[in-house]
Amino acid sequence: MNGIAVVCRRVVHIYRVEGNDVVALSGVDLDIAPGSTVALVGPSGSGKSTLIALLGGLMRPSAGRVQVGLVDLGKAADAELARMRGTDIGVVLQGAARNLLPHATLAANMWLAQRRAAKVRPADVEPFERILGLVGLGGFGEATVGELPPGAQQRAALAVGMAASPGLLLVDEPTSRLDRSARDEVLDALDTVNRERGTTIVVVTHDPEVGARLGRAITIRDGRVGAEGRDGQEFAVVAGDGTVQLPPAMLENYPPGTLLAVESVDGQVVMVSATHEPVGDGTP
């Protein structure tokens, strides 16, 4: 099974709320390689859940390009988007209960999620017992969702998201309201799915520890990519329009409106304010 690549170019999304335009995303550029795991990290209202909804074809961008595999989701027909959500893209909404029928068995929940893929490409659809085993719920196929503790319910939601063997799995806040032990079980399940199936996984989270666990953490701030963490080190990101967001801690001393001269010195980028010493450096 192969993961699916994701590409975003200058993505803008605007909501209409009570007669006013609210900009949720304001020029997002993002590349996610097939088979990688990525966390979208940021506070509530930063735009990360909007971005994952666009990647799942649940909404269309107001401007820019959102591409999953070879398909431009903004231009795809509604029928094509529905087909992709039933085959190529697995979506796990925030809150396990939103993804599961509480009085049905796990086997029944899995079957409902597999129906479209079983018609389109039956050879690629795995038995539900095998998928449940991936998330640590082997042997629980006949258990009802309501019989499971919260952490196991979240892993059951992941299994439903994986039921059609998608190349891209989108998961919104899978560890919220879980204790540390249940959180680690969910993260272990995601790691197993990625390692054994090669699935591309994108997780929305407000927890920096979850971002660090996934290896690549992209900070969404004010509707844009503000920074990126890889292997414990954080980097500023040059956007498609050439802008760079400074880390929030730096903004305390250099607020909006500060004049900065940007220079390249001995292979390093140095920013110098009109009234201060250099404020930072990094490789070009």
pLDDT of residue 277: 55
Per-residue CA distances from 50 to 61, 147, 224 (Å): 10, 32, 11
**Nearest-10 crossing angle of helices 78-87, 106-120:** 120
**Element (DSSP H or E) covering residue 168:** strand 168-172
pLDDT of residue 55: 96
- The reported pTM is 0.86
> Binning pLDDT at 50, 70 and 90, where does residue 241 land?
confident
pLDDT of residue 282: 46
Rounded to 5°, angle at Cα 224 from 257 and 14: 105
> Binning pLDDT at 50, 70 and 90, where does residue 284 land?
very low
Give tens-digit pLDDT for 14-29: 988 888 888 999 999 9
Average pLDDT over residues 131-146: 92
**Among 206, 180, 204, 203, which Cα is nearest to 193's?**
203
**Do 97 and 151 touch, CB atoms closer than 8 A?**
no
- What CATH code would you report for 6-227? 3.40.50.300
Average pLDDT over residues 155-165: 93
Window from 11-15, 39-43, 72-76, 123-127 with minimum mean pLDDT: 123-127
pLDDT of residue 200: 97
**Among 88, 42, 70, 38, which Cα is nearest to 201's?**
38
Domain extent listing, the chain: 6-227, 249-284
pLDDT of residue 283: 47
Total Cβ atoms within 10 A of residue 272: 15
Per-residue CA distances from 189 to 9, 35, 226, 268 (Å): 31, 15, 28, 41
Helix, strand, coil percentages, rounded to 5, for the chain? 30, 30, 35
pLDDT of residue 78: 94
Query: Looking at per-residue confidence, does 274 or 136 come out higher?
Result: 136
